[in-house]
Chain A
Amino acid sequence: MSKDTSKAPRRGRTQWGDLAVRWSFMLPTIVLLILVLAYPIWYTIEISFSSFDMMTFGAGEWVGWENYAWVVDDYRFWESLWVTLVYLIWALPIQIILGFGIAYMINAPWRGRGLLRALFIIPMVVAPVVAGGIWRMLLDPIWGVINWVFGLVGLGPFDWFGDPNLAMATIVIIDTWRWTPFIVLIATAALLALPRDVFEAAKIDGAGRWATLWSVALPLLAPVIAATFVIRWLGAVKMFDIVLASTLGGPGKSTSVINLFIYEEAFRSLNFAESAAMAMIVLVLTMLLTGVFLIGSRKLETMH
């Protein structure tokens, strides 16, 4: 900033007005985001290092790392981080593989292709809380239509919400239904953009289907897959609505993802200081991992 002021007079007085005009494009965004984004984060940091004062309903006296120590000692915090990790490890690969597979099928050239692609937008815009609700109905152990279909072929009934492992599967299924279409749409565009001649050449060289997929298509798609992964990761770490509307974190704590856990600690147990500390830990973890993924995807891009 100070550099600007020292340079501006040399360019003449009219430049000042121009500089103001230039910045006025950027200024509303900066002011608003400082107000609603930067200030709340700063306040979270402050609370996380303070005791919570119930009288003023704000940050009390400075307690240093006490809240963080409390959180790190809390096994429930680690448990819900683990639950979140399990969800991510299942959901992200399943969604990316399914998304690209479906995109390949959908890209078969025929008249209805555009229509099918448009229809895939529908699950994407169903509010996550509605998605959670309707899947709870579909998967109901007694009246749900899905258990009925399984029953027709002699399977089940499955207790989708009562068994801890199945409840995690339920969350992954709902999330996959809601988000795979998003990947399908990205993947259809990416597949259409693949250069045709490379595949023709592979065919002439006598490469089989799997060889073509493995050593021609996948390397070409790697940057897009990496980018899709990063976008999807940033959405998935915020997982909250679907769990709240379907399993409510249960049975027990088996699907209590970290955001739900922090939410309940803050707004049900009123442990605001500890929640702030947990939110800061999650924020730092997310930023670090996002950085790692971004560097990884850049590497993939430069490799090819």
Chain B
Amino acid sequence: MTSSNTNAPKIRRRRRSFSHGARIAGAIFVSLLFLFPVFWMILTSFKTQVDIFTTPPKLFFEATTATYVEYFSRADIPQRLLNTVIVATGAGILSIVVGTLSGYALARIRLRGAATFGVLILMSRGVPPIALAVPMFLVARNMGLTDKHITLILAYCTFLIPYVMWLMRSFFVSLPKELEESAMIDGCSRFGAFFKIIVPISMPGILSTLIFSIILAWEELLFALVLTSRDAVTIPVAIAGIAGDTETGANWAALTAVGTVTVIPVVIFALLVQKWLIQGLADGATKG
């Protein structure tokens, strides 16, 4: 692109660079527009009630951490944050272990009937979660399993395992076949070749997929709403409660403070693995 630019006659180059500049300006403007809600959330979380409810909206104000102190010294919010961490990492780790194994099986192992299971599992993406939430609630209630971390972890497997399996499958397909073939000629068992050769090589992919899985579980609302009531309540449920609490009026300070704490760690993790995320998305759309 740049080389053809320098070779082009001067007048054309100037016209090009004008539309080029407009494109860049547009790109920056749109990016800022998309970031604004998050920016405003963080800003509002440091405002006092008086500064929140005022027109014109205040961009500059005396920052206070009072909302954070109030909400995170109460017993329920830290407990819910902890629940979310337990459930999200638990579900993420369980799904990555199970889904990496089956993703590898679909990519590399000749298995009669396995492809059928693969397609069935892929089809499960069309199942509305509410069709699972109703029976899960009834079964969990009759078995005394409601309001437990393990119940939510298992419920999250319904969407995480298919996700991990298909992402890891396309990752393993892209690896050269000679890797484990040579290892197995050298006397490695199938498991040996998988755990000693394939897993270490795939670590970046596995870790990124784990992080996405944790993010997906971290934000889940419906199952958490249905399957928890007191002890295992997660942060999205708490936020839905704050947002839906219209009796005391809009508690924007609480909403933004808890929202900020929920979003910031996820954003950091997502930015850490963004290269892989974009690659995975692109592959999913073009090859899937």
Contact = CB atoms under 8 A, between A and B. Distances in A.
Interface stretch (A61-69, A86-94, A133-141, A163-171): A133-141
Interface string A246-275: 101000000000110011001100001001
B112 A57 contact: no
A79 B59 CA distance: 42
B21 to A, nearest CB: 9
Interface string A220-239: 00011001100100100110
Given A41-B132, A245-B243, A266-B134, A33 B121 contact: yes
A8 to B, nearest CB: 11
Nearest to B254: A133
Contacts of B215: 125
Interface string B129-142: 11111111111011
Interface string B251-262: 010011001001
Which of the listed residues A32, A56, A128 has the most CB atoms from chain B within 10 Å of its own CB? A32
Q: Is the interface of B mostly helix, strand, loop or mixed?
A: helix
B93 interface: no
Nearest to A135: B37
Interface string A265-292: 0110000100110011011001100100
A107 B225 CA distance: 40
Interface stretch (A18-26, A70-78, A210-218): A18-26
Contact of A126 (B124, B138, B242, B263): B263
B11 interface: no
B18 to A, nearest CB: 12
B8 to A, nearest CB: 12
A47 B31 contact: no
User: A18, A116, A140 — which one has the most chain B CB atoms within 10 A of its CB?
Assistant: A116
B281 A182 contact: yes
Contact of B243 (A133, A143, A185, A237): A133
A204 interface: no
Contacts of B161: 29, 32-33
A134 B137 CA distance: 29
Interface stretch (B65-73, B103-111, B173-181, B201-209): B103-111
Contacts of B185: none
A238 B129 contact: yes
B144 to A, nearest CB: 12
Given A33-B124, A129-B243, A143-B52, A47 B154 contact: no
Given A1-B113, A137-B44, A185 B281 contact: yes
Interface string A128-172: 111111111110101101001000000000000000000000000
Nearest to B224: A129
B40 A279 contact: no
- How many interface residues does chain B have, given as a range? 35 or more
B98 A32 contact: yes
Contacts, number: 313
A279 B134 contact: yes
A236 to B, nearest CB: 12
Contacts of A43: 135, 138-139
Contacts of B252: 137
Given A120-B34, A245-B244, A263-B222, A28 B24 contact: no
B30 A136 contact: no
Interface in A169-224: 177, 180-182, 185-186, 188-190, 193, 223-224
Contacts of B53: 143
Contact of B270 (A29, A106, A124, A189): A124
B128 interface: yes
Nearest to B282: A189
Nearest to A130: B259
A293 B187 CA distance: 47
A245 B239 contact: yes
29 contacts: A26-B106, A28-B101, A30-B117, A37-B127, A40-B132, A44-B131, A44-B134, A105-B30, A109-B1, A110-B24, A120-B34, A122-B38, A126-B38, A127-B221, A127-B236, A132-B243, A134-B255, A136-B250, A193-B282, A227-B288, A237-B128, A238-B128, A240-B130, A266-B133, A275-B134, A276-B134, A276-B135, A282-B131, A290-B126
Interface of A: 1, 3-4, 18, 21-23, 25-26, 28-30, 32-33, 35-37, 39-41, 43-44, 47, 56-58, 102, 104-106, 108-110, 112, 116-138, 140, 142-143, 145, 148, 177, 180-182, 185-186, 188-190, 193, 223-224, 227-228, 231, 234, 237-238, 240-241, 244-246, 248, 258-259, 262-263, 266-267, 272, 275-276, 279-280, 282-283, 286-287, 290
